[in-house]
Structure formats: structure tokens, C-alpha cells
Amino acid sequence: MCRLFFRSLISLCLLIAATLSFAQTKIPYGSDPFQYGELSVPAGNGPFPVVTFLHAGCWRSTEGLMNSYRAMAKALNEHGIATWNMQYRGATSPGGGWPGTWLDIANGFDALATIAKDYPIDTSRAVVVGHSSGGHYGAWLAMRKQLPPNSDIYVKPVVNPMALVMADAYINPLVIDSIGVTGEIYCSEPILEKLIGGSPETHVDNFVQISPLEWLPWGIPQEYIVSTYRYPVSLPREFAQGKTAWKSLPDYPAMAVLAGDEFNMRLIHNEDHGAFVREGSRSYLATISAVLRLLGKGTE
């Protein structure tokens, strides 16, 4: 009985210690209320690899959705990985859209270089994880170094991702304003013109500059974890459980491999889009496994 009691007490103490060791520090990277991130650093000396989370939200102003990655931040901390859960101005935020949203993604990620002066993180081991529209932003971070320096959204990279994990991500901006089989626009309102500063017909260069597939190869390892609701992209496949009716989108996996990028894909059966940030789901665990594999900390 005593032995069982002490075992339970030790387990409780370890649980409390793990909880107390997880702390989030809010750090601004600009003056706007949306320009900040939450840094979580494991206990110990480091320097630790760092994962940047880019949350979903249909490219809009959705501050609360950064909460969706807090559980994963804690889980990665327990594996000795720091996390940077980034907020940014969405397309519908004041100052967002073109160029504000893209500048926030760039500057928020580059802020890791400044943060590394005060916290034990290793920016040479920076992995980006993006869910849904956040995966589009992550893919853009992977290719932004190729943008022309005179672009409105070009910021000379200070930090470059060493790898990218895209969780049920939309990578092609053709999806953004697509009309679903129900006749509804995908994000419930037009978004694309806000993101490129005008229509795709009149702002072709801007559209290309937010189209990561136009810039393959990206030159970093890519993990694409996707629901079978969303892939394969083939006739007469309908994306997003009927919400998006595009049937001829470019096949990103085939394009990445053909371009010579290091690429791995995992299909998740019978889990919906939200499962990718639902703690304990197969999609959620597959995302963690992908990060660990990329950082040499384990395999699936």
C-alpha cells in the first residue's frame, strides 16, 4: 500500500513539474496588437531547436485560433523543442492583406533572430508548422527568399526555415475564393483581392508572389500531412468535404518531387480538417512525429 502511495505521489509530482515547466512568454515583433508571438522554451540550457506555428483561419483576422497550437507547443517542449506560436494581421485585419499580412509573416518569423539573443533557441534548426491557410503562409516562408527585392512583400530573410510541415494545408491561392458545390464562397467572403491588393487579372505579379508552387524547388525538406477528404487532387474529386469544387488544382506532391525537393507525404483517413489541431488525434500525433523526424529526434 505504501509503495503504491509513493508511486502515485511521484507521478503527481512529475505531472505538476511538467505543467509548471511549460510557460508562454508573449513577445511583440511590431507595434500592432496582432504583431506578437508566444514563446515556449523547455527547461534546461539549450540551445533548443524551435518550431514556429502558423495557425489556420481562412486567411482572415482570427486571433483566437492561435490557441489551437498551445497543446502541441507543450508536447514539443517535453521533447526538448522550443516553440514560437505566431499571431499576425489577417487579410481582414486593419493593415492586413497586401502587403501587411505577408510582411507580418516575414517579420514575425525573422523575429526569432532577435529572440535568440535573450533565449536559448537555435535558429539554424527552425521548423515551420502550418495548418490549413497557415500551411500556405509556411510554404510562402520557404520560398520568399526567391522574391524580387523590389517586391512590396520582400523582406531580406534573417532566419530561414530548415524544414516545413504542412498540416491539411491549402498551398494554392486558387482555392481562396473558390465556389463550393453548395454555391458558397469558401471563406464566406472574398479574401484573395485583399491578399494581393486587387484582382488576379490586374495584379498578376502579386498573385504569383503569393503562389508557392510557382517557385519550386524550395530547397528544404517538406512533410505534407493531409486528410483523404482533401487529396488526391483528381477528377472528380471535390476538396474540403464539398466546400470547394476545384477539380484541376496542381498536384503539389508530384510537383515537389519532380522539382527535386526532399518530400514526404502522409494521408490520414477518416479524420476531418479540425482534427489536425485536436489533441490526441492521429492527425495531431502525425504532425508531432513529422517534427521529431525532421529534427532527428525520432521516427513515426
The tens-digit pLDDT sequence of the chain (300 residues) is 444 433 443 343 433 344 445 689 999 999 999 999 999 999 999 899 999 999 998 998 776 677 889 999 999 999 999 999 999 999 999 999 999 999 999 999 999 999 999 999 999 999 999 999 999 999 999 999 999 999 999 999 999 999 999 999 888 888 888 776 566 777 888 999 999 999 999 999 999 999 999 999 999 999 999 887 665 443 333 443 344 444 456 678 888 999 999 999 998 888 888 889 999 999 999 999 999 999 998 755
Cis peptide before 99 (omega within 30 of 0): yes
What pTM value is reported for the model? 0.87
Rg (CA), the chain: 20
For cell 487579372, the residue is 201
The residue ranges of every structural domain in the chain are 22-294
Question: What homologous superfamily does CATH list for 22-294?
Answer: Alpha/Beta hydrolase fold, catalytic domain (3.40.50.1820)
Amino acid at 181: V
User: How far apart are the C-alpha atoms of 55 and 130, rounded to whole Å?
Assistant: 6
Q: By C-alpha distance, which of 228, 233, 176, 167 is closest to 200?
A: 176
Among 299, 212, 300, CA closest to 261 = 212
Q: How far apart are CA 188 and CA 195, in angstroms?
A: 15
